[in-house]
């Protein structure tokens, strides 16, 4: 919750009174443990609550979400309950910052102090008042959810191992919501949920989670403690509490504090893939650019951006990007390869594409894809010749000229096909097709001996 507004104006006051009656009906039903009635009252009040959270007293919202979550627990709907209790933690377990408009007497509530400060500086407001979290429901919720937490995490892992990715995503997301409700927010569970949804092809679920992780600047970096048992040499990872305990037994154990590796790049890569898969290429490009704004020399992410430009058909934008990339890293063969890919897609630019592939090959003689693409770019020039041959009629001289032009084009492609066949990895499905294409090319130029050497 970013901001909650409570006004003493007559119209707002009467609206709040009406609103409170519907919400209080939910909590009153919960007090008598009439869960069927709670569900009915939630249905009546839910639209009102979701549309007007900023105008509802936080304590009243806490009552509402506690009652709603309890009714969902009674229905064994742990996923829904985890979301309700996650909302509850916002209103029950966080510090609130409030300011009052000195002119209108309107009171504003925030859970983000920086937003309170920003609003205060924009008008005639009182100084910020800090209120401690009420925590009226924390112990109750902790008792209910603690036993469910490990069960849900284990189910998420089991679903993942069984490749039931959507179910795994739901359970990881539920576990994340539970962790928030227990005031032990674990964003890694949220990341796992996004990955599982992505693997299941549920991009409408994975996209907002990935974006939320990026906006919150989550990197996955945490402290971890490695324990070395001196007598056996055995190593293990322990929590901080155990690390402190073993640290007092220095004659038997060595404790080393380390930091886990950052997941930032991986998150951006997966987020980009997720948005691209859901046909939001512009968003995908935007995310990669955002990462590169603080990691400009990352070759892998620069190459990802290049491929996104190519796949999205934004050739002009990519051309500028590729030229800048080559200028900044002129020894990277992939940069020239990507430029060749772009140029090969532009009619009449085949020779320029081949020059870029040649440069990539000079920097990396084992660049199989550059050999193959150069051959394809050259052989593309055969198509218009074949169209003319279809309509040459009885003009023998013109037919001879066209056939010689075709041989010349194919002849230039052959050396690249030979190198592609030489550098292709064993087991690559394209090997048989390259071999057949090369054999046909040998026949076209009249090199029967070479053609017979190939199957």
Q: Which residues have C-beta within 8 Å of that of residue 67, sequence separation ≥ 6?
A: 26, 27, 29, 30, 38, 42
> pLDDT tens digit string along 218-277?
999 888 888 888 888 888 887 788 778 888 888 888 888 888 899 999 999 999 999 999
Domain end: 105, 139, 173, which one?
Answer: 139
Beta strands 234-238 and 223-229, pairing class:
antiparallel
* Domain assignment of residue 157, yes or no: no
What's the number of domains the chain is made of? 3
> pLDDT tens digit string along 308-331?
888 888 878 878 888 888 888 899
* Domain assignment of residue 205, yes or no: no
* Domain assignment of residue 108, yes or no: yes
Beta strands 4-6 and 234-238, pairing class:
unpaired
pLDDT over 90, % of the chain: 36
* Domain assignment of residue 429, yes or no: yes
Model-level pTM? 0.63
pLDDT of residue 174: 93
Q: Say which residue the tokens 């443990």 belong to.
A: 33
Q: How far apart are CA 305 and CA 327, in angstroms?
A: 16
Q: Are residues 302 and 441 in the same domain?
A: yes
Beta bridge partners of 99: 108
pLDDT of residue 19: 66
User: Residue 195's pLDDT band (boundaries 50, 70, 90)?
Assistant: very high
Asked if the model's pLDDT at residue 4 lies above 50, the reply is: no
Q: Are residues 347 and 255 in the same domain?
A: no
Asked if the model's pLDDT at residue 161 lies above 90, the reply is: yes
Beta bridge partners of 254: 228
User: Residue 46's pLDDT band (boundaries 50, 70, 90)?
Assistant: confident
Q: Are residues 237 and 365 in the same domain?
A: no
* Domain assignment of residue 183, yes or no: no
Q: Are residues 288 and 436 in the same domain?
A: yes
Q: Are residues 248 and 287 in the same domain?
A: no
pLDDT (average), residues 301-311? 83
User: Residue 18's pLDDT band (boundaries 50, 70, 90)?
Assistant: low
Helices (H), 123-231: 138-161, 165-181, 187-199, 203-215
Q: Are residues 249 and 277 in the same domain?
A: no
Q: Are residues 328 and 439 in the same domain?
A: yes
Q: Are residues 293 and 423 in the same domain?
A: yes
Q: Are residues 251 and 336 in the same domain?
A: no
* Domain assignment of residue 45, yes or no: yes
In 3-state terms, what secondary structure has residue 140? helix
* Domain assignment of residue 22, yes or no: yes
Q: Are residues 247 and 372 in the same domain?
A: no
Q: What is the CA radius of gyration of the chain?
A: 32
Q: From 137, 66, 126, select the one nearest 102 (Cα to Cα).
A: 126
Q: Are residues 70 and 21 in the same domain?
A: yes
Question: What range defines the domain where residue 253 resides?
Answer: 223-259
Domain CATH for 390: 1.25.40.10
* Domain assignment of residue 160, yes or no: no
In 3-state terms, what secondary structure has residue 256? strand
Residue 45 and residue 22 in contact, taking contact as beta carbons nearer than 8 Å: yes
Helices (H), 315-445: 315-328, 333-344, 350-363, 368-379, 382-390, 396-423, 430-445
């Amino acid at each position: 919750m970013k901001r909650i507004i409570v006004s003493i104006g007559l119209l707002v006051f009467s609206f709040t009174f009406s609103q409170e009656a519907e919400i209080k009906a939910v909590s009153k039903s919960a007090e008598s443990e009439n869960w069927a009635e709670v569900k009915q009252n939630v249905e009546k009040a839910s639209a009102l609550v979701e549309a007007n959270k900023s105008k509802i007293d936080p304590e009243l919202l806490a009552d509402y979400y506690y009652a709603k979550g309890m009714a969902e627990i009674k229905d064994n709907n742990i996923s829904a309950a985890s979301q309700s209790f996650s909302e509850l933690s916002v209103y029950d377990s966080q510090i609130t910052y409030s300011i009052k408009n000195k002119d209108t007497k309107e009171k504003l509530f925030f859970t983000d102090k920086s937003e309170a400060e920003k609003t205060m500086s924009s008008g005639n407001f009182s100084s910020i008042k800090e209120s401690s979290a009420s925590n009226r429901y924390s112990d109750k919720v902790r008792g209910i959810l603690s036993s469910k937490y490990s069960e849900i995490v284990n189910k998420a892992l089991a679903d993942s191992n069984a490749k039931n990715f959507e179910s795994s995503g739901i359970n990881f997301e539920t576990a994340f919501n539970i962790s928030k409700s227990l005031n032990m927010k674990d964003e890694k569970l949220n990341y796992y949920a996004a990955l599982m949804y992505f693997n299941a092809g549920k991009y409408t679920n994975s996209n907002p989670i990935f974006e939320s992780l990026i906006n919150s600047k989550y990197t996955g970096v945490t402290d971890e403690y490695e324990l070395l048992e001196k007598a056996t040499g055995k190593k293990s990872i322990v929590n901080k509490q155990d690390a402190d305990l073993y640290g007092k037994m220095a004659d038997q154990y060595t404790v080393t504090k380390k930091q886990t590796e950052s997941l930032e790049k991986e998150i951006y890569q997966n987020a980009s893939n997720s948005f691209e898969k859901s046909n939001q290429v512009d968003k995908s490009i935007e995310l990669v650019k955002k990462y590169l704004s603080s990691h400009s020399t990352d070759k892998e992410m620069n190459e990802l951006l290049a491929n996104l430009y190519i796949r999205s058909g934004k050739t002009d934008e990519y051309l500028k990007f590729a030229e800048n990339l080559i200028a900044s890293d002129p020894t990277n063969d992939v940069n020239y390869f990507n430029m060749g890919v772009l140029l090969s897609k532009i009619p009449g630019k085949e020779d320029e594409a081949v020059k870029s592939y040649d440069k990539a090959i000079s920097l990396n003689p084992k660049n199989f894809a550059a050999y193959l693409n150069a051959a394809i770019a050259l052989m593309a020039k055969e198509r218009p010749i074949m169209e003319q041959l279809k309509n040459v009629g009885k003009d023998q001289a013109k037919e001879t000229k066209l056939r010689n032009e075709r041989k010349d084009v194919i002849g230039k492609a052959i050396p690249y096909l030979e190198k592609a066949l030489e550098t292709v990895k064993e087991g690559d499905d394209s090997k048989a097709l390259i071999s057949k294409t090369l054999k046909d090319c040998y026949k076209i130029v009249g090199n029967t001996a070479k053609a017979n050497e190939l199957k």
